[in-house]
Structures are given as structure tokens and as C-alpha cells.
A and B are shown apart, each in its own frame.
Chain A
Amino acid sequence: MDILYQVFIDPFVQMVELPDFFLQVLWEGFVSGVLYALIALGFVLIFKASGVFNFAQGIMVVFAALSLVGLYALGLPAYVALIATVGIMGILAYTVERTIFHHLVNQPDIILLMATIGLTYFLVGFGEFVFGGDPKVMITEELGLPTGSTAFDVLGGLVILQHIDIAAAVIAIIMVACLAVFFNKTRIGRALRAVADDHQAALSVGISLDQIWMIVWFAAGIVALATGIMWGARSDVSFALEIIAFKALPVLILGGFTSIPGAIVGGLIIGIGEKLGEIYWGPLVGGGIESWLAYVIALVFLLFRPQGLFGEKIIERV
């Protein structure tokens, strides 16, 4: 009975007894959720327009962040470096489209997936060759992002909010709103979904695959840059960041691979769930559950709703 008490009652008692601490945990969870959502967003963009899980999204985050830091180190002012990095992501999108995807029209999805894996390895090697392998520091202050923190008196205690986290949340929300409108309301958005469904049919109505793919890879590059800045500000900028891409996987399973709001809600559920789990239930098994809890949540979800919370309904006529 003791174990049941510890699992089902004790954590909630703790939450009620120390509400300020609970709020702090929620906030931390919210912030990491937003950041997961940002990564997931990059995946969703490319998945929507080509039906492919873009393995290279993680390395694109690293690549964008390293370019930014590298250009700044060359002596460019921070904002110029930022704009130049946007340009680099544009060039990357163009090159990827011209050299890889242009030649893979009408190929099965698995071929495209393999191509993105290849691209990942190329970018890792190329990135190390250009920027070197040592970790670098993100130019947070130079970009005008707020630092420091504010403490709020609530519920008889202190809740501390890092300014950079607030900025991350605001930027993520703006980005998501823009992308959601873009995808759901515009002709180009409709064309993107059309391309993901059927290459041949899209071509036959005059949709240019080259143009569409360039647009999504560029958009994914911009999202990667934003993600790189935000994550880079919290840790440092190194190739280890690539791994966070896999954190996006449970988020995508939860939210649905094709849904922008899904990426957000999925990100928040995973982020908050992870933190709450770690703090309140983690001690029962000696802690450290944060790293795998997300995957368990995703797995349970797969059993009941394989298309995710907001994914397109899986339609199969047999």
C-alpha cells in the first residue's frame, strides 16, 4: 500500500503544499516544451511538404548556430551576422534542392528519408571542417536578447523567470502563428500539402516541386536558426546539440507529424510532463527518468492514436 500512496497521493500532496515550487516546475516544463516545439516545427514543415522525416533537421540547427557564431567571430556586427546566416540557410536550401531532391521527384518516401540521412552525415563533416569541433558560446547579449531574471512573489514563495526563456516563448509563439496561417490559408500552403500527397498530380496541375521544396527547406532553415539561438543560449553551441533533434520525435508522435498546432501542444505536453515526472515521481526510482519519460509517453500514445493528437486522419480503403 505504501507504494500506491507514494505514486498516487504523495506527489499531489507535495504540489499542493508547495504551490510556488510547483509553479516553478511548471514554468521550467513550459519553457523546455516551447523549445521542443520549435525543433518539432522544423520537422513538421518538411514532413508536410514531402512526406519525409527530415533526419538532417538536428544538424541544421547546429549548422545555423555555428554559422551565426562563426560570422560574428569574423568581426561582423551581430545583426549583420544574423542576416548573413539567414542568407546561408537560403543557400543551403537551394543547394539541397538542386543537388539532391530535384533528382528524386516521384521516388518513394524511403528514398527521400535516406537522402536526408546522407545529408546529415555530410553536414556533420562539412561543419566540423569549416567551424572546428570545439563548443562555442552563443552571442545572446550581442543579439539583444534579454538576460537576467525576474522573481515574482506568488503563493507565498518566489517563482523565478529567466528573461531569455520568456523571449524564447514569445518568439516561438509568433513563429508558430505565422506558419500556421501560411500553411492553412494560402495558395502556397495548399500547394505544399499537395506536393506531400502526390508528386505527379502536383506537377500536373502546374505546381513547381523545385520551388515548393526550396521554400520549405528555407523555412525549416529559419526555424533551425531560431532553435539554434534559443538552445545555444541555454547550453553552448556544439555538435552535441544535434541529439536534441531526437527529442522532437516523441513530440511529433504526440502531436502528429503533419500538424503545426500539434507540434506546439505535443512539445508542451512532453516538456511539462518530463519536468513533473522528474521532480515528483523521479525520486521513487532514484531519479533520472527525464531522459526516457518522453518516449514512454509517446509509446503509450502510439497504441491509442497512431496519427497523433492533431495529425491527418489515416485513411485506408481496402
Chain B
Amino acid sequence: MSVMEAGTPAAGIRGAAATSAETAARETLLSVENITLSFGGVHAIRNVSFEIAKGEIRAIIGPNGAGKTSMLNVINGFYHPQEGLISFRGQERRRMKPYEAANQGIARTFQNVALFRGMTTLDNIMAGRTLKMHRGFFWQCLHWGPALKEEVEHRHKVEEIIDFLEIQAIRKTPVGRLPYGLQKRVELARALAMEPDLLLLDEPMAGMNLEEKEDMSRFILDVNQQLGTTIALIEHDIGVVMDLSDRVVVLDHGEKIADGMPADVQANKAVIEAYLGVEH
């Protein structure tokens, strides 16, 4: 938790949205209950429940194939579980739809970077504002009057995000041409452009070098603290998980095997066995 404490001077900026881990624990932003997801005979997730409190960074860890990404896909509606309930901001549903999830304030990034490769960084991030733009078709085609004003307003917001993530220099570059680390950052920018309440990050640091990881960690903390965004994070780098997250849920073979503070989870016998194998 050392990084979190180091970040506390930022508490003033967080303002009313800011809450310490303890008070946050009371208000649940998202909860999944008894989720079971299978593809034919393969059980990707079995009867998993956990909740994400408002304002926290919640890590989801586990060995490969544990069902972490499937879980994110259930949360933002790409997969529909056979059983279980998802409730977001108190509203219960059997299944989420991607459009609904986006509209209600859930944004995400992808493990294997899903950007609009042919478009520039700027256009990619503007695409994240799709749901925030409302001007009618007619005005848009004219590209004049209210529609132009709207476009300019959103452009301002996007510029703020670009400054925030320090990607000014690549504004006009088609993202397909960017190095991997920067692509990951553009993806984060696009998610932030949605001004989400809940941000799902699927291995934001995979394939990065140490320096890039440090940058990304700093951005994630800044997003959480300055913007008050709740974050669910899948990450393999245990060091990063321990530093960043408030609470950790551990999945293995589709089942939840531990849930708690990073230090407790780290000491948990079942978790150690899942990662290192059991001694026979």
C-alpha cells in the first residue's frame, strides 16, 4: 500500500469523489453474484461472486486460463453468463449488453490492444466520445452551427486527456504505426474519453519494459486519484498488483480461490499453490 500512501497528497484534488479505502468499502459500485459461464462443456467461470467498491482499485489475478478476461467480458456484456446476476450502480441484470455497459459508464481496454488502427490517435480518442455527442444527423452533415460547436467542445475534453497521458506528440499519428507501449496508452486515453465510472483494464502492462510499466502505473494511480475513477485491473506482474490495488480477487480454473487485501492474498496458501503448483 506504500504507493497509495505516497499518493495521498492528491486527496485534495479528488475532492468529494475521493474516499479512503475504508469508507469506499461501504458503497458498492459493481457486484457480480454466482456467475457461471461455460462454452459448451468448458467451464470458463464457476459460481464466482465479488464486488467492486466505489473509488477503489480492484485487481483480478490468477494463472493463465483462470477466467479473468472472461470475467471482464461478462461485466461489459461481450459474454452472457448462463447463471448469476450483475448489478451496476444498484441495478440488477441477468446479462449486460455492450452498448448498455458503455452508456452506463463502464469503459475498458483489451489484452491484445484493440484500437482503430487506420485512424489517428486523435480520432481514436474522439471515438470514445461517441456516446457523449448528441447533435442530430442533419447538423452533423452540415458540419456547421451546433454540431461544429459540439465537436469543438469535445475536442477540448480530448485535449485534456491527451495532456493528462502525455501523448501530445502523437496526436496526428495513425495508431497502427505507434510502438506497442504507446498503443496501450492511446487505448487507455480512448477509455478515459468516455469519462467512465468503472474502468476495466485487461493487462495494461503486458509486454512493457520497466520504465513503461512505471509510467503506466503512475497513470493508473492518477486516474484513480485525480478523476475518482473506480478501476478493475487484470495484471500478471505481482509487484504492480501489490503496489496499485486496494483489494485483490484471485481466480483459478474459473473459481474464486481468494479475495482480500494484497498482503493477505499474497500469504494465502491456496494462491501460492495455484501459482507455484502443489507439492505432492
Q: Is A187 an interface residue (CB 8 A)?
A: yes
Which residue of B107, B114, B141 contacts A181 across the interface (Cβ within 8 Å)? Answer: B141
When distances are taken between beta carbons in the complex, the residues of chain A under 8 Å from B131 are: 205-206
Q: Say yes or no: A205-B141 contact (C-beta < 8 A), given A193-B118, A198-B115, A315-B118.
A: no
Contacts of A190 in B (CB 8 A): 119, 123, 126-127, 130
| With A201-B110, A317-B177: A187-B133 Cβ-Cβ less than 8 Å | yes
Q: Is residue A154 within 8 Å, beta carbon to beta carbon, of the partner chain?
A: no
Is the pair A198, B174 in contact by a Cβ cutoff of 8 Å?
no
Check if A186 is an interface residue, CB within 8 A of chain B: yes
- Do B133 and A198 have beta carbons less than 8 Å apart? no
A55–B115 CA distance with the chains assembled, in angstroms:
27
Query: In the bound complex, do residue A194 and residue B116 qualify as a contact, i.e. CB atoms below 8 Å apart?
Result: yes
Which listed residue, B110, B143, B174, touches A200 by the CB 8 Å rule? B110
Contact among B78, B119, B135, B194 for A205, CB-based, below 8 A: B194
Residues in B neighbouring A181, C-beta threshold 8 A: 141, 143
Binds A, one of B25-33, B95-103, B158-166, B214-222: B95-103
Interface of A is mostly: helix
- Are B116 and A201 in contact, CB atoms less than 8 angstroms apart? yes
Taking CB atoms, residues of chain B closer than 8 Å to A187 are: 130, 133, 135, 140
Shortest beta-carbon distance, B132 to chain A, in Å? 9
Name the contact of A198 in the complex, choosing from B114, B128, B147 (C-beta under 8 A): B114
Q: Which residues of A contact B135 (CB under 8 A)?
A: 187
B226 to chain A, nearest CB (A): 22
B76 at the interface (CB under 8 A from A): yes
Counting CB contacts under 8 A, is B190 at the interface? yes
Flag if A193 contacts B119 (CB, 8 Å).
yes
Given A205-B127, A205-B190, A313 and B141 touching (CB < 8 A)? Answer: no
Give A197's nearest chain B residue, CB to CB.
B116
A201 and B141 within 8 A (CB): no
A210: nearest chain-B partner, CB-CB? B99
A208–B98 Cα gap in the complex (Å)? 9
Does B172 belong to the interface (CB within 8 Å)?
no
A207 contacts the other chain (CB 8 A): yes
Size category, A interface: 20 to 34
Q: A191-B127, A313-B174 are in contact. Are A204 and B107 (CB under 8 A)?
A: yes
> Would you call B176 an interface residue if the criterion is a C-beta within 8 Å of the partner chain's C-beta atoms?
yes
Q: How far is the CB of A264 from chain B (nearest CB, A)?
A: 19
By beta carbon, the residue of chain B nearest A201 is: B114
Q: Write out, one digit per residue, whether chain B residues 177-218 have a CB within 8 A of any chain A CB (1) or not (0).
A: 100000000000011011000000000000000000000000
B-chain residues with CB within 8 Å of residue A201 when the two chains form the complex: 110, 114-116, 190
Q: Does A203 contact B (CB under 8 A)?
A: yes
A203-B99, A205-B130 known; A317+B116 contact, CB < 8 A:
no
B177 touches A206 (CB 8 A): no
**Cβ distance B136 to chain A, nearest Cβ, rounded Å:** 10
Q: Which residue of A lies closest to B102 (CB)?
A: A206
A185 within 8 A of B: yes
Q: Which residues of A contact B108 (CB under 8 A)?
A: 204
Is B119's CB under 8 angstroms from A315's CB?
no
A202→B190 CA distance, assembly (Å): 11
The answer on a CB contact under 8 Å between A315 and B177 is: yes
Binding site for B on A (CB under 8 A): 178, 181-182, 185-188, 190-191, 193-194, 196-198, 200-208, 258, 312-313, 315-317
Residues of B that sit less than 8 Å from A by CB: 76, 78, 98-99, 102-103, 107-108, 110, 114-119, 123, 126-128, 130-131, 133, 135, 137, 140-141, 143, 147, 174, 176-177, 190-191, 193-194
